[in-house]
Amino acid sequence: MPEFEIQHITRYSYETPVRDSANQIILFPIKDEYQELLKQELTISGNPVVDTYIDYYGNEVGSFTIREPHQVLTINSKIWVTTKHRSLPETEIFPTQQWEDLKRLQFVVPYIDFLRQEYFQGIDELRTIVNNNWVQDDGPYQVALRFCKYVYENFNYIKGVTTVETTLDEIWKLKAGVCQDFAHILMEMLRMVNIPARYVSGYICSSKSTMRGEGATHAWTEAYIPEYGWLGIDPTNNCVANDNHVRLAVGRNFSDCSPVKGVYKGSSNHKLEVAVSVDHENALNNNETIINEAHATTKVADFTKNSYQRYLEIIQQQQQQQQ
């Protein structure tokens, strides 16, 4: 079984001291027959007490408050996990029966939440694309893979053009973004054909340098397949999410699964930095393994410009580099 050591650092730097910082974290890996948590070390500046509970979707959620004035908040989570390969769905012999089974889930909890579509201006255009890519003789598994391939081939993976606040309207206009944007579009497509779809946050732990999403938190989609269960599909890499994907949380969308979020009293000007490092096979037994925070990939959020402005700037920079 693959074994991974993952360090996830989140740092908020405030322009002036802030106080009464109330935070929620979902940094505790899902534990089931396909994923085992061997060990976790969680350190937070100020050493607050972290209370945990299980939310509606089965995620372990932590909450803490820092009342004292502070100018930096650092959350450092280090986990050691093993994952197990999951067999793929069998060839769908009775696709008609599977579609009938899915129809019956429209009024069944909790699938209702994972079938609800989010309205945006391009929804009619997307529905036309869905209908053109939906082969009636195919079963849900084959359709899900086809939709995944469509998102992968028709959306550009460009870092920095979107943020967690970017709407579906903006993503559809840009036809670009990162893993969370790809996941949201794929979920919309699946829900249009009555396949329950949920958002997954976590990490991609492949040793292949061609995989998108390494060095940061990752996101993908899970589609519900009758007689199989939830199948992870990664539209960012056009693959099934299996033993090289480590899951943190599931929900209706990013908001349900955000690794860190909170509120505080003080200046709104702040900088957010996120660093993720992954060490592969036998990480727990490797005494020489040191993940240095200074060498981790850092992402700095820029909230001063909208998605389209960032998109135009990045395209212009790419054109200049090619000249």
Question: 197-224: per-residue pLDDT in tens?
Answer: 999 999 998 766 678 877 779 999 999 9
Q: Which of 237, 255, 273 is the last residue of a domain?
A: 255
Using an 8 Å Cβ cutoff, are 289 and 283 in contact? yes
d(CA 273, CA 242): 28
* Residue 311 domain flag: no
* Residue 316 domain flag: no
pLDDT at residue 90 in the model:
81
- Which tens digits make up the pLDDT trace of 248-302? 999 999 999 999 999 999 988 999 999 999 986 544 444 333 333 322 333 333 4
Q: Which of 213, 237, 255 is the last residue of a domain?
A: 255
How many structural domains does the chain have?
A: 2
Residue 316 binned pLDDT confidence (cut-offs 50, 70, 90): low
- Do 47 and 102 fall into the same domain? no
* Residue 18 domain flag: yes
Enter the tokens of residue 313. 């700037």
CATH code of the domain covering residue 229: 3.10.620.30
The candidate with the shortest Cα–Cα distance to 187, out of 174, 196, 178, is: 196
What does each C-alpha distance from 243 to 86, 87, 149, 154 come to in angstroms? 7, 10, 20, 26
- Do 48 and 15 fall into the same domain? yes
Question: Does position 116 have pLDDT exceeding 70, yes or no?
Answer: yes
Please, is 136 exposed, middle or buried when counting C-beta atoms within 10 Å of its C-beta (0-12, 13-18, 19+)?
exposed
d(CA 130, CA 147): 8
* Residue 276 domain flag: yes
What does each C-alpha distance from 108 to 101, 113, 262 come to in angstroms? 11, 9, 32
Report the 10 Å Cβ neighbour count for 39.
Answer: 10
- Do 211 and 261 fall into the same domain? no
d(CA 315, CA 160): 11
Using an 8 Å Cβ cutoff, are 132 and 189 in contact? no
d(CA 194, CA 174): 26
Mean pLDDT of the chain: 87
pLDDT at residue 312 in the model:
54
- Do 72 and 185 fall into the same domain? no
* Residue 314 domain flag: no
d(CA 59, CA 62): 10
Q: Which of 214, 231, 255 is the last residue of a domain?
A: 255
pLDDT at residue 214 in the model:
75
Report the 10 Å Cβ neighbour count for 255.
Answer: 10
Question: Does position 304 have pLDDT exceeding 50, yes or no?
Answer: no
- Which tens digits make up the pLDDT trace of 164-200? 889 999 999 999 999 999 999 999 999 999 999 999 9
* Residue 312 domain flag: no
The b/e string for 104-116 (b: 16+ C-beta within 10 A; e otherwise) is ebeeeeebeebbe
- Do 101 and 165 fall into the same domain? yes
- Do 200 and 287 fall into the same domain? no
* Residue 204 domain flag: yes
- Do 178 and 106 fall into the same domain? yes
- Do 61 and 164 fall into the same domain? no
- Do 229 and 291 fall into the same domain? no
Q: What is the mean pLDDT of residues 223-244?
A: 96
- Do 297 and 195 fall into the same domain? no
- Do 64 and 135 fall into the same domain? no
Report the 10 Å Cβ neighbour count for 220.
Answer: 27
Range of the domain at 39: 3-83+257-305
pLDDT at residue 135 in the model:
82
- Do 280 and 242 fall into the same domain? no
* Residue 315 domain flag: no
Model pTM score? 0.86
- Which tens digits make up the pLDDT trace of 55-86? 999 999 999 999 999 999 999 999 999 999 99
List, in order, residues 6 or more apart from 96 with CB less than 8 Å away. Answer: none
CATH code of the domain covering residue 73: 2.60.40.2250
d(CA 317, CA 315): 5
> Among 92-101, 173-182, 288-297, 311-320, whose mean pLDDT is lowest?
288-297
